[in-house]
Amino acid sequence: AQRVTQPEKLLSVFKGAPVELKCNYSYSGSPELFWYVQYSRQRLQLLLRHISRESIKGFTADLNKGETSFHLKKPFAQEEDSAMYYCALSSSSNTGKLIFGQGTTLQVKP
Amino acid sequence: KAGVTQTPRYLIKTRGQQVTLSCSPISGHRSVSWYQQTPGQGLQFLFEYFSETQRNKGNFPGRFSGRQFSNSRSEMNVSTLELGDSALYLCASSQGLAGGQETQYFGPGTRLLVL
C-alpha cells in the first residue's frame, strides 16, 4: 500500500537553528514527492517537489530511494517558517490523487 | 491567473440533510481533485474528475459524489449527512496531463459543520 509517514506531530526550534522535518514513504514504483505548507489562515500551497530540485525559502529536500525518505531541511529557521508542513506522494498509477502524511507543525521560537 | 475558488466557505447543516460544494479551478486546468481534512484522519482523497469523468476515487461511502462540468468547474455532494462528515473540504486543480504526477493547486476550502 502507498503510505506517507511524518513521525513528528510538532517540531519546536529556536530562530536560527537548523530544521529537519522527516518524511518516509512506502511505494514500490517511482513516486513523485511533494512538500506542501499551510501558514495560519492560508490555503495549502506547494513548497517544493523533488523533481524540480529547487530550493524554496531556503528549504531543500532530497529523495532517498534506499531509505524511502524525503526529509525537508533548512539550515537556519526563521519565525515566519512557523506553519503546518505536509509531505505528499503521487504516483502514475493513481491519477489525481495525493497521499498525505499527517503533517508536522513547525514552531519557530524567537 | 486567479487561484482555485470554492463556495461557500462555511456551511452549517443538520444530520440527514444533503449539501453541495462548488469548486472553480485555475483557468486552463482540467483536473479537479477533492479532499476531506479532519483533525483525526488528516487529508484524505475523495475523488478526481477530468473532462467531466471521474478518473479516480478514494475510499468513501457512496453518499459522497461529485461531478464536473464542461467548463471544468466541479461540485461535490454529500447526502444524508452524518456528524462525522464535519470537516474542511478542499479541492485542488491541475492540468490533468497523462502520468498524473503534477502539482495540485488548492482552494481555501469549505468548512462544513454538521449538527
What is the enclosing helix (H) or strand (E) of A73?
strand A72-74
- List of E strands, B25-85: 31-38, 42-50, 53-57, 64-68, 74-78
Query: What confidence tier does B100 reach under pLDDT thresholds 50, 70, 90?
Result: low
User: Is the Cβ pair B48, A96 closer than 8 Å?
Assistant: yes
Residue A102, C-beta contacts closer than 8 angstroms, at least 6 positions apart? A5, A6, A9, B42
Chain B, nearest residue to A97 by Cα? B45
Q: Report residue A46 as a C-alpha cell.
A: 506547494
Q: If you measure CA to CA, which chain B residue comes closest to A48?
A: B103
Q: Which residues contact B103 (CB under 8 A, 6 or more apart)?
A: A34, A46, A49, B94
CA distance to B8, B64, B81, per residue, from A25 (Å): 34, 28, 33
User: Is A56 a residue whose pLDDT tops 90?
Assistant: no
Q: How many CB pairs under 8 A join A and B?
A: 67
Chain A contact present for B35, CB below 8 A: yes
Residue A55 has pLDDT above 80, yes or no: no
Nearest-by-Cβ selection for B99 from A34, A44, A92: A92
For B60-95, the pLDDT digits (tens) are 999 999 999 999 999 999 999 999 999 999 999 999
Per-residue pLDDT tens digits for B12-45: 999 999 999 999 999 999 999 999 999 999 999 9
Kindly state the average pLDDT of the residues A90-110. 92
